[in-house]
Structure 1
Amino acid sequence: MKRKLAAFLLAAALLPSPRGEACTNILISKGASRDGSTMVTYSADSHQLYGCLYFRPAARYEAGTTMPVYEWDTGKYLGEIPQAEQTYSVVGNMNEHQLIIAESTFGGREELADTTGIIDYGTLIYTTLQRAKTAREAIAVMNDLVSRYGYCSEGESFSIADPNEVWHMELIGKGTRMENGANADRGAVWVAMRVPDGYIAMHANQARITNFPLDDPENCLYSPDVISFAKAKGFYKGSDKDFSFADAYAPADFSALRACEARVWCTFNRVTDGGMERYLDYALGQNKSNRMPLFVRPTEKLSAKEVMWLMRDHFEDTPMDMRHDIGAGGHNMPYRWRPMSFEVDGQEYINERAVATQQTGFWFLGQARGWLPDAVGGILWFGVDDAGTSCLTPIYSSSTRVPECFREGNGHMTEYSPTSAFWLFNRVTNFAYLRYDRISADIIKVIDEVENKNMTEIPAIDAAALKLYENDPKQAVEFLTDYSVNTAQNLFDRWTELDRYLLVKYMDGNVKKEKDGRFLDNGHGRHIPASPDFPGYNEAWQRAVAGTTGDRLKVVEPK
């Protein structure tokens, strides 16, 4: 696997060589990680989501205090629920106890969304992070919230991890409750499977849990009516032991396989040295009966850096590779603009949807390290915009403030802010989309420069924090907060330099010549650049242009 994964990382770094809205999660158990941490990745993919780092400090509330609920996707006010007496500090999708929660929407049966419910999936995540310490506690809190107040979102897959356990949970509502009591059910049906130690899991907008054990609470938890409700609704007929959550509540179609499960296939295939090739027809949407496993054991244990690069995947060197057909334009671009499909002469075609996608608001790799105190052990490697051309920076989950460049309120989707990382990264990435084969390579060099530097620093930061923690835990937290904030702001400054460099180097379709990190002049010392390179377009694009213009562009001898 090391050779296979290394080849992918090299291909991703050398891209110049010959999510509709959706999210992607990878779940890594302790035994599957190189350092013994648990990890969860998340790309929050949406055409309307602004990328920022949420922060909610720990607090105590008087009895009777209520909490307003606003739908995460739309901002719509949904109602109020009782506030907890005590809440925990939350940075992004990780809390002070190293609990991590992420999601991807699978939709499922449309009639099961409860329009009268107060809890949406975003509220479910961030409220649970404020109220739970462990993954098992989180599952219980989530069940309690939806049971009490109703669940108004579509079906969701959740990733839930603490320093010891990683869980894959799938949940869907029970439909709108009628005034006349015609539908007395409320809450949700769900099942949660513990990722076996040494294995990884993944979900990408399609329900993946099929059959599950009914008598193994150590590794499987579920709502008591998950099967009986499906039977009552006519979604399933058969024995309990043969019940499949995914088949009952989110039957797969071509889109579910090709736009969603294909992402899972690609990641599983990379970490198992091609061990998923026999499921390729499933990933291509051709054979839904050839279902992939829920968990796989990677051939070799994975480092945080390797998992980060899995989130930058564009199907390189697979049958879904987007770099080589005419849709890639003249510069091998591994993206396709929305919509997800198009029609020609009555035939529908798809635009591939890889893990890395242009419409990402924010993304992260949460790392829970159980051998360290919670104040030191939790790191949220956080970034904004497209994972393929953005950088992650370490935010310790005990932090008591967030960097200005990631702060909520620093700009939004319809207001540019010059101090916002989201807008800066979008500037750089959208420029790269114009000539992806060349510009992305320069961006990836800086990604590696910054991330490798930060990863090298972390052991020393941990050690210094531990020394402080022995005498004064608050001082240790302040030290880690300062490090997190300053490191993120340094990233912002480095990306500002990169933004300027790329504009100077690639303006007007040219490429200026460089030597030893400096642009060359023409030899006369008057700041006039040396004659630039004119790389033009790739051969596939040239052939396409020649083939569609007939004789109009041919160079001929005049008569």
Structure 2
Amino acid sequence: MIRGTLALCTAVVLTAALATPPVQACTSMLVTKGATTDGATMITYNADAHELYGELYYTPAGRHRPGAQRDVIEWDTGKLLGRIAQAPVTYTVVGNMNEHQLTIAESTFTGRKELEAPAGIVDYGSLIYITLGRARTAREAITVMTKLVAEYGYASTGESFSIADPNEVWLMEMIGKGEGNKGAVWVARRLPEGTISAHANHARIRQFPLNEPDTLYSPDVISFAREKGWYKGADKDFSFADTYNPLGFEAQRFSESRVWSIYRRAAPSLGLGPEYADGSAPDKRLPLWIKPDRQLTVQDAMALMRDHFEGTPLDLAKDVGAGPYAAPYRWRPMTWEVDGKKYLHERAISTQQTGFTFVAQMRAWLPAPIGGVLWFGVDDTATTVYTPMYAGIRKVPRNFAVGVADRGTFSWDSSFWVFNWVANQAYARWSDIVVDVQKEQRALEGGFFADQAEVEKTAVEKYRRSPEAARKYLTEYSVRQGEKVHAHWRRFGEQLLVKYIDGNVRDASGKVDHPRHTDSWYRHIVRDTGKRLLVREAPPVATPATKPAPTPAPKPGADPRKG
């Protein structure tokens, strides 16, 4: 996710033109192996920002001479923050997963304003990708990340990090110490087996055990808050989230609501009502993790990331803002004022400004290059196709690759642009076109899952003879699938344009139809227009009065006085 990762194995300094903007509206879910049907661990991630260009970053492994350094390029701005010592050996990184199946994702919670602009040269994005190049396990990743910010200083605001390997899943939250102060305070917790968790731009770790191996924290995480006057209670009652990122109405409505929507769908038996999300009960707090009602598949994880609060009081398709085709999207700004009052639009997990998304699947019983699959997609989760990219691949499909295009220039070679083109057609006529989109998603993703076992069986056989042969096979497979999805989605977009051109709906035989809107939408029109559009009965046409029939002329020779 960080442009600066390209400098991991080279001395390249990336220009500002390659910079990506702040990603401060992301959603991530964490799933332990005890909560999945196949015993895999999983992390999901939506990288959301209105200026983010979605692409699949790739950094090859490298060996580096003693004394080598690497540039730290701030992801949000493209600015060179400084240089740090390079590791002697770095690992291959595909997107947010490395060759050992270690995966890291994030969401920005910002936190207290007093803690903005800390002194340091390692921003949160660089922290992720430097660590992926240096760590093999989740615990090792936490050690690497916290040592980096201690030595070089942290350069960002508050972050929640999802960190997982094939065996352990951790949530770590970190925030800098404010202007002029080096380092950061942080806490990390391992999820108990059989549970899931999520975060979405708000800190979620509250109280935590002070003496157990599955909880780690900075030595000054509590004392620093005491020095600032933000906490005065007993250590055992200290809450990281409530101290460093207090929950307000908008945070509950925009952030906790997304966590709630994952929880409500994964564990309906818990009966978590909308009061956990709508701001009506500020004291209601979601648990840090839950046990799902049933174990999850990769497809379940994808479905949970394709969410618009359907079937809840927050359902985006249910008010006039959804338009005649029940679009579960709202263009920004998120908050707005009218007639002296402030209002908001809901913020769902699935959103139009996603740059890229993934579901990371990590499996301990397979060789790492085969066990790790980054199911990768670009743009909106509701309209993307998750495509398998294996941890052991040596290159990525060109349509996903860095440098093929950018956010400011449309390109048919870029999957980001092709998927956005289709999605923007869908937004205009959502209730109709989403049916077509889901049909194509099921066909493509279903094919990947149907083939997965055989693909991996072949890869394992090759790996036994030659690990490099397995990597080559998986590279060819992953590249081929990426290219197939790209070509298919472009053809699909062309078909949509033909089918729905100018408001028509054309069936398979070419016949044009004009289906009516819903009654609820017509009622909206009536309420807005009153009687202006009412079709009135025409008055009866007036007919002239009946005239008396003329008297016939008498026959010749007849006496007119008779008869």
Contact (CA 8 Å) 1:27, 1:201: kept in 2 or not?
yes
1:257 equivalent to 2:252? Answer yes
CA deviations 1:200-239 (Å, max 9, x no partner) are: 010011101000000002x111111100011111111111
Moved more, 42-51 or 341-350: 341-350
Contact (CA 8 Å) 2:166, 2:362: kept in 1 or not?
yes
Contact (CA 8 Å) 1:58, 1:86: kept in 2 or not?
yes
Q: Give the corresponding residue for 2:89.
A: 86
Identity %: 52
- For residue 551 of structure 1, report the CA deviation from its aligned partner: 2.6
Q: Pick from 86, 101, 106 the counterpart of residue 103 of structure 1.
A: 106
- For residue 558 of structure 1, report the CA deviation from its aligned partner: 4.8
Q: Give the corresponding residue for 2:19.
A: none
Q: Give the corresponding residue for 1:524.
A: none
Match runs of 1:351-366 below 5 Å: 351-366=345-360
One-letter identity of the residue aligned with 1:127: I
Structure ID, larger Rg:
2
Q: Give the corresponding residue for 1:154.
A: 157
Distance 2:46 2:120 in 1: 26
Q: Pick from 133, 139, 144 the counterpart of residue 147 of structure 2.
A: 144
CA deviations 1:475-500 (Å, max 9, x no partner) are: 11111111010011111111112111
- For residue 176 of structure 1, report the CA deviation from its aligned partner: 1.9
One-letter identity of the residue aligned with 1:34: T
CA distance 1:473–1:42, change in 2 (3 Å): same
- For residue 64 of structure 1, report the CA deviation from its aligned partner: 2.1
- For residue 282 of structure 1, report the CA deviation from its aligned partner: 2.6
- For residue 88 of structure 1, report the CA deviation from its aligned partner: 0.3
One-letter identity of the residue aligned with 2:176: G
Q: Give the corresponding residue for 1:203.
A: 199
Q: Give the corresponding residue for 1:537.
A: 517
RMSD: 1.3
One-letter identity of the residue aligned with 1:214: L
- For residue 274 of structure 1, report the CA deviation from its aligned partner: 4.3
Match runs of 1:112-151 below 5 Å: 112-151=115-154
Secondary structure of residue in 1 paired with 2:492? helix
One-letter identity of the residue aligned with 2:357: W
Contact (CA 8 Å) 1:31, 1:198: kept in 2 or not?
yes
- For residue 472 of structure 1, report the CA deviation from its aligned partner: 0.6
Match runs of 1:272-291 below 5 Å: 272-278=267-273, 280-291=274-285
1:268 equivalent to 2:263? Answer yes
Which blocks of at least 5 consecutive residues in structure 2 are unaligned?
1-21, 540-563
One-letter identity of the residue aligned with 1:53: L
Distance 1:418 1:115 in 2: 41
Which blocks of at least 5 consecutive residues in structure 1 are unaligned?
1-18, 178-184, 515-519, 521-528
Contact (CA 8 Å) 1:106, 1:155: kept in 2 or not?
yes
Distance 1:176 1:69 in 2: 20
Runs of 4+ in 1 over 3 A off after TM superposition: none
Contact (CA 8 Å) 2:118, 2:177: kept in 1 or not?
no
Contact (CA 8 Å) 1:22, 1:204: kept in 2 or not?
yes
Q: Pick from 369, 376, 379 the counterpart of residue 375 of structure 1.
A: 369
Contact (CA 8 Å) 1:20, 1:338: kept in 2 or not?
no
CA distance 1:37–1:77, change in 2 (3 Å): same
Distance 2:438 2:269 in 1: 25
Q: Give the corresponding residue for 1:9.
A: none
Q: Give the corresponding residue for 1:180.
A: none
Secondary structure of residue in 2 paired with 1:105? strand
One-letter identity of the residue aligned with 2:314: M
Contact (CA 8 Å) 1:21, 1:47: kept in 2 or not?
no
Secondary structure of residue in 1 paired with 2:514? coil
1:165 equivalent to 2:168? Answer yes
Q: Give the corresponding residue for 2:335.
A: 341
Moved more, 153-162 or 537-546: 537-546
Contact (CA 8 Å) 1:49, 1:73: kept in 2 or not?
no
Q: If the length of structure 2 is used for normalisation, what is the TM-score? A: 0.90
Q: Give the corresponding residue for 1:225.
A: 220
Contact (CA 8 Å) 2:118, 2:182: kept in 1 or not?
no
Secondary structure of residue in 2 paired with 1:296? coil
Distance 1:274 1:316 in 2: 17
Secondary structure of residue in 2 paired with 1:395? strand
- For residue 75 of structure 1, report the CA deviation from its aligned partner: 1.4
Contact (CA 8 Å) 1:22, 1:45: kept in 2 or not?
yes
Distance 2:101 2:23 in 1: 31
Q: Give the corresponding residue for 1:550.
A: 530
Q: If the length of structure 1 is used for normalisation, what is the TM-score? A: 0.91
Q: Give the corresponding residue for 1:513.
A: 507
CA deviations 1:92-123 (Å, max 9, x no partner) are: 00000000000011110122133532111110
Contact (CA 8 Å) 1:96, 1:398: kept in 2 or not?
yes
Q: Pick from 47, 51, 54 the counterpart of residue 50 of structure 2.
A: 47
Secondary structure of residue in 2 paired with 1:389? coil
Q: Pick from 472, 486, 490 the counterpart of residue 480 of structure 2.
A: 486
1:441 equivalent to 2:400? Answer no
CA distance 1:274–1:284, change in 2 (3 Å): farther
CA distance 1:276–1:234, change in 2 (3 Å): farther
- For residue 506 of structure 1, report the CA deviation from its aligned partner: 0.6
Distance 2:169 2:191 in 1: 6
Distance 2:255 2:63 in 1: 41
Distance 1:103 1:450 in 2: 28
Distance 1:187 1:382 in 2: 33
CA deviations 1:360-412 (Å, max 9, x no partner) are: 00000001000001111100000000001111000001111010000101110
Distance 2:245 2:435 in 1: 39
Q: Pick from 488, 495, 503 the counterpart of residue 501 of structure 1.
A: 495
CA distance 1:226–1:236, change in 2 (3 Å): same
Distance 1:122 1:25 in 2: 15
Contact (CA 8 Å) 1:326, 1:540: kept in 2 or not?
no
Contact (CA 8 Å) 2:70, 2:85: kept in 1 or not?
yes
Q: Give the corresponding residue for 1:395.
A: 389
- For residue 343 of structure 1, report the CA deviation from its aligned partner: 1.2
Contact (CA 8 Å) 1:104, 1:156: kept in 2 or not?
yes
Contact (CA 8 Å) 1:265, 1:276: kept in 2 or not?
no
Q: Give the corresponding residue for 1:23.
A: 26
1:329 equivalent to 2:323? Answer yes
How many residues are aligned here? 518
CA deviations 1:181-202 (Å, max 9, x no partner) are: xxxx421100011011000010
Distance 1:366 1:513 in 2: 38
Contact (CA 8 Å) 1:114, 1:151: kept in 2 or not?
no
Contact (CA 8 Å) 2:24, 2:109: kept in 1 or not?
no
Contact (CA 8 Å) 1:206, 1:261: kept in 2 or not?
yes
- For residue 456 of structure 1, report the CA deviation from its aligned partner: 1.1
- For residue 162 of structure 1, report the CA deviation from its aligned partner: 0.1
Q: Give the corresponding residue for 2:550.
A: none
Q: Give the corresponding residue for 2:6.
A: none
Contact (CA 8 Å) 1:325, 1:540: kept in 2 or not?
no
Contact (CA 8 Å) 1:20, 1:340: kept in 2 or not?
no
Distance 2:490 2:452 in 1: 24
- For residue 276 of structure 1, report the CA deviation from its aligned partner: 3.7
One-letter identity of the residue aligned with 2:490: T
Moved more, 242-251 or 544-553: 544-553
